[in-house]
Amino acid sequence: MPSSARKEAGGAWTFAESHLTRMQSAARWKRARIPAANGGCRNIADPQKENSMASREKQFLIARWEHRREELKTLVTQAEAHRAKEIYRDWRLKEFLAHMSGWDDAVIESLRAHANGEPFMTPASRGINAYNAQTVSTRETLDYDHVRREWDRTHELILQAIRDLPEEKLHQPLTFPWGETGTVAYLVEIFVEHEEEHAAHLREWLKNPNELFAEKH
């Protein structure tokens, strides 16, 4: 994962990479301002209290992501009336959801590997753009209803993976899908930002679904 947006050979910014860089920056800013579960002070000398706080933090992260996903689901339901139309160039609603499910899959793998203390083969190690393309191409033969059900299911699996994390793992660094390391809270915040940004795109596109929102996603 690049620490800043890069330019392609032709000199144009790679939209997806700069997009994720912005999400990382916003996630760091927000995470620094989220109060600890007990009002900003963690007593690491008391394991029982530490576990209780970790449990509350997991509940907070789950609720935050669930709230964001419910808002996106509402927009997706509205967009289904226009699912034959392009949102981004060559991406209709099916490709939009395939993209989201693909990143859900990557997050699930990261969380499960972290929980089990296993090595994690980063799926986006070849780059964000390559993984974006892969998330869509591997689902191109599936119909819309299948992709929609998968999107609903992968989100439930993410929430369960967070619930299943041992308390002591919550603040230990884990490997993200593109190779960066950080906390579970930071990973969640990045993908909440991802959904917020795509929700904003979808909301704007729905004002005039006969026109592309953007050439690139």
State pLDDT tens for residues 134-155: 999 999 999 999 999 999 999 9
Token digits of residue 150: 């998968």
Type of residue found at 60: F
Token digits of residue 181: 């390391």
In the chain, which stretches have pLDDT less than 70?
Answer: 1-51
In this predicted structure, what is the pLDDT of residue 206? 98
Domain 51-205 belongs to what architecture? Up-down Bundle (1.20)
In this predicted structure, what is the pLDDT of residue 23? 54
33-48: burial string, b at 16+ Cβ within 10 Å, e else: eeeebeeeeeeeeeee
Phi and psi at residue 181, in whole multiples of 5°?
-120, 150
pLDDT digits (tens, 9 = 90+) for 2-28: 232 223 333 332 335 545 555 555 555
Residue of 99, 60, 1 whose CA lies nearest to 189: 60
Note whether 216 and 88 are within 8 A (CB): yes
Q: For residue 7, what is the DSSP state?
A: B
Which residue do the tokens 């007593």 mark?
Answer: 43
180-206: burial string, b at 16+ Cβ within 10 Å, e else: bebbbbbbbbbbbbbbeebbebbbebe
Measured from the Cβ of residue 160, the count of other Cβ atoms closer than 10 Å reads 13
